[in-house]
Structure 1
Amino acid sequence: MIKAIFFRAPKVNADNELRRMQTDELVRILAQTKFAGTALSVSGSAHLLRGLRFEGTIEDLSYPEYDCRSIPRPDASYSMYLSDQVLEHVGTQPDVVFSEAFRLLKKDGIAIISTCLLNPIHMAPTDYLRFTPYGIQELAERAGFTTLQHFTIGHTGDFIMQRLGGAGMDYTTLASVLTRILGRVFRRSAHTNPIMVGAVLRK
């Protein structure tokens, strides 16, 4: 009977849950912002832009096919720029990424740049760096951006569930209960132990 309950429960992917949390947070931050024009995604993230109700044209020039440190487009080509989970892979001079994003955006254009903090090595050997939200803010403002808000997504409990999922554990009823328990334990540490960090920036 217990097995039947566990295996009939709907399965939820841990990574998808983090993406949903990220979209919800960005929708909250950008609630008063109107999007139009052309957006650039350097991370295959057109779905995230659509989740933010971006109604313009989306151009995808994504890593690793394109190097986001040198995008072959003129200055001020875009009204919005999105880099999601790419910054850690572009070598040891991340400031170049911010300078290039600044160059590509029109005046008052919006950039969303997010990356990982609490995450294992992935896509080796091109996984170089980890960032705090304050590190992203420093790099962005050095490039000329104004930080509208930095954000954190997830906490240690989410990381544990993500790793269990990678080990083959599905989000069954048992896993859902464990998620709630871990959430209560680690929620207070969400701002100091996030899985993902990022910032919403304006040129």
Structure 2
Amino acid sequence: MSVNLQINNFWIERNERQLCRDLSFSVSDGELVRIAGDNGAGKSSLIKAILGWIPIEEGLIRLNGEDITHNRDLLLFDQIYLGHTPGIKSILSVNENLRMYCPNASEVALNEALQQVNLELFDDTPAAQLSAGQKRRVALARLWLTKKRIWFLDEPFTALDAHGVAALEAKIQSQLESGGAVVITTHQPLYHLSPKTVELTP
């Protein structure tokens, strides 16, 4: 299935502050779109508005030509979102956290995902005992398990070491080469990726 996501004339306000107005861009097969802007510019809010989690004042969103402005079900069905926080349960083990998000994944697939993020020795470790970087890598392991076509990654490089950054960049490149699409916010330089940039300015 192809990916063609069009954002047309988005206008977003939060707490009586205008974050963007008449913002338009598209995301297509094999394309990486980087949302850029200063801290507080509204990058995270823009992603959440696209997904329908916060309201827009005006605008239109189409997925493969279909107007989904008032019903994001088609988009939500075929996307994965990773936010600022890892979104994992501290009382669960690393393996249990992945199983919660990916209940149909095989043990082989789970083990391979953990190997990709260098956590294969921590599969039975409670998440509460992990460092911030390890918790981030648990969340990112979901990318090795998903078949979703559109990824929304909000500051995914936070708390990652050089090896983690390289592994994630390689996985993003693999997603693009397979025909998927990625929308990302990051302050991390993308040395091995070539994004299309959407700039949010005050």
Give the TM-score taking structure 2 as reference length: 0.24
Question: Which structure has more strand as a fraction of its residues?
Answer: 2
Structure with greater contact order relative to length (CA < 8 Å, sep ≥ 6):
2
Question: Which structure has more helix as a fraction of its residues?
Answer: 1
